[in-house]
C-alpha cells in the first residue's frame, strides 16, 4: 500500500519510559522504505482492529501503538506485547530501531 507517514509509540514496560518515532516515508532511505512497506503489506494492516487485545495484559509488558497515514486516511492499531500477532513483530523491531535513533538525535 501507499504510505505517507507512520507514527510509532511504545509505552509501559517495567520502566514505563515512552519510546516514540514519526517516520516520514519521504525522509528515509529507499531500501528501508521498501522494507517497511513490505512488512506493513504482510500484516494486512488496514484490516487489523484498532485494539488487539486477545489476552489479559501481562504485567510490565510493552504497549505498542502504530498509526499509518495513507493519502490523508489514518489507521491506528494498539497492541500489548502478549496480543501482538507474529507477523507484526518484524515491523515493531524496525520501528523500535528507528525510534531509538530519533531519540538520540534529539539531544
Summarize as ranges the residues that interact with other proteins (CB under 8 A): 9, 11-18, 56-63, 65, 78, 80-82, 100, 103-104, 106-107
Residues 6+ apart with CB under 8 A from 73: none
Minimum distance between the CB of residue 51 and other proteins, rounded to whole angstroms?
A: 10
Distance between CA atoms of residues 96 and 29, nearest Å: 16
Minimum distance between the CB of residue 53 and other proteins, rounded to whole angstroms?
A: 10
Minimum distance between the CB of residue 1 and other proteins, rounded to whole angstroms?
A: 26
Q: First CA to last CA across the chain, in angstroms?
A: 34
Amino acid at each position: 500500500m501507499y504510505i505517507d507517514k507512520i507514527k510509532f509509540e511504545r509505552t509501559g514496560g517495567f520502566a514505563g519510559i515512552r519510546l516514540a518515532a514519526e517516520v516520514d516515508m519521504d525522509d528515509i532511505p529507499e531500501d528501508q522504505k521498501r522494507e517497511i512497506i513490505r512488512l506493513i503489506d504482510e500484516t494486512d494492516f488496514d484490516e487489523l482492529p484498532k485494539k488487539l487485545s486477545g489476552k489479559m495484559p501481562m504485567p510490565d509488558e510493552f504497549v505498542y501503538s502504530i498509526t499509518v497515514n495513507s493519502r490523508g486516511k489514518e489507521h491506528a492499531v494498539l497492541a500489548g506485547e502478549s496480543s501482538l500477532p507474529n507477523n507484526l513483530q518484524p515491523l515493531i523491531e524496525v520501528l523500535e530501531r528507528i525510534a531509538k535513533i530519533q531519540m538520540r538525535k534529539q539531544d
